[in-house]
Amino acid sequence: MTSIFVAVGLAVTGLVPLAVLSSRVVVAARSLTREIERANDRLAPAESRFKALIGTSRRAQG
């Protein structure tokens, strides 16, 4: 019976690092998502100006 308790204890102890590391991955993914959103927000005005420039350039050539 003791060996069952030891096995369960070791299994739980083995899952603790996985839980800690997975929570760190989730936090890093959220941080990366926010950083990507900020970059997109900063690039949006330049993108619209670039598209407008390309559109007028293509109309002048075509």
pLDDT digits (tens, 9 = 90+) for 4-62: 999 999 999 999 999 999 999 999 999 999 999 999 999 999 999 998 888 876 666 65
- Specify if 30 maps to a domain: yes
- pLDDT number for residue 61: 62
Q: Is residue 49 part of a domain?
A: yes
**Does any domain span residue 47?**
yes
Within-domain flag for 56: yes
Structural domain range at position 30: 14-62
Dist CA 61 CA 53 (whole Å): 12
Element (H, E) at 1: none
Q: Which two tokens stand for residue 40?
A: 């997109």
Q: Is residue 50 domain-resident?
A: yes
Instruction: State the virtual CA torsion across 16, 17, 20, 26 in degrees, nearest 10.
Output: -120
- Which of 39, 17, 37, 19 lies closest to 27 in space, CA to CA? 19
- Identify whether 6 is part of a domain: no
- Total number of domains constituting the chain: 1
The answer to whether residue 2 sits within a structural domain is no
User: Is residue 4 one of the residues assigned to a domain?
Assistant: no
- Predicted model pTM: 0.62
